[in-house]
Structure formats: C-alpha cells, structure tokens
Amino acid sequence: MAWRGGWRGRTAAAAGLAAVAVAQVAANGVCKKPAERPRPPREWIPHDEVEDRPESSSFPSGHTSAAVAFTAAVAPSWPLAGAVCAVPTVMVAVERVQSGAHYPSDVATGAAIGLVAAWLARSTPRLLLRHWRWCQRPC
C-alpha cells in the first residue's frame, strides 16, 4: 500500500499502522488484564482448533480490534483499499468466534476499540497541528 499507492497509499498505510498500534495498546495492554474473562468452554467448540486457543483473557478480541482499526483508518484516505481490507476484517471477526477463542461480545468490543483507535490515529495529528498553530499566535 505504501510502496505502490503513492501519496494516498502512504497516508493510508501510516494511518492504518498508527491505528493498529493504538488498538493493540488499548485492547491487549489496557483492557485484557483487568477483565480476566475466561475463554468459551471447550465443550462449545466441536472441532480440534480448541486446543490452539491462547491462555490470556478472552475480553476483548485483540485480533478484531487491530483488523478493524487498520481498515477504518485506511478507508478515509483510500476508500477502495478500505473496502478491500473490509473482507479479511470480517473474516477475522467471524473466525475468532468460530474457533472458540472469543465470545461474540469480545469481538464486538474489539471492533469498537478498533473504531475508536482509527478515529484517534486520524484526528490526533490534525488536532495537535491546530493546537500548535494556536499557541504560535502573537498575543
């Protein structure tokens, strides 16, 4: 995206990576530790993938938060790339529930965290620049 997309691709990629970083800190660093929610019971998952689940807290889904954050941050700069990224994002969210790694509420909360992270990653530079310009005004 950054390599072949020109200015728009570099802007989208930078926003996407910044949003992923914010989402990962929020979901895995801030929310998972205090939640300590156990994973869905093994009996609910009728396949062998249940043995590959992480041991960390189930709430929220860090994978979903990262995927949604990247897609939501990319879409305003490059709508076509955002639409293309939406397909694997939905697949990640569905797979996290299907594999027994998360409850649907974990995935929904992870998606909400991803949306907030994308908003923060896209609006923070603009807000900082506005604040800096305001501080530079002569009194």
Domain ranges of the chain: 6-135
pLDDT, mean of residues 107-111 = 96
pLDDT for 53 beyond 80: no
Per-residue pLDDT for 106 more than 90?
yes
Domain 6-135 top-level CATH class: mainly alpha
- Residue 104: how many CB atoms within 10 A of its CB? 13
Q: How confident is the model at residue 120 (pLDDT cuts 50, 70, 90)?
A: very high
Judge if the upstream peptide bond of residue 60 is cis by omega within 30 degrees of 0: yes
User: What's the 3-state SS for 113-138?
Assistant: HHHHHHHHHHHHHHHHHHHHHHHCCC
Residue 37, φ and ψ in degrees, nearest 5: -85, 130
Q: Is the pLDDT of residue 52 over 80?
A: no
Instruction: Give the per-residue pLDDT at 49.
Output: 60
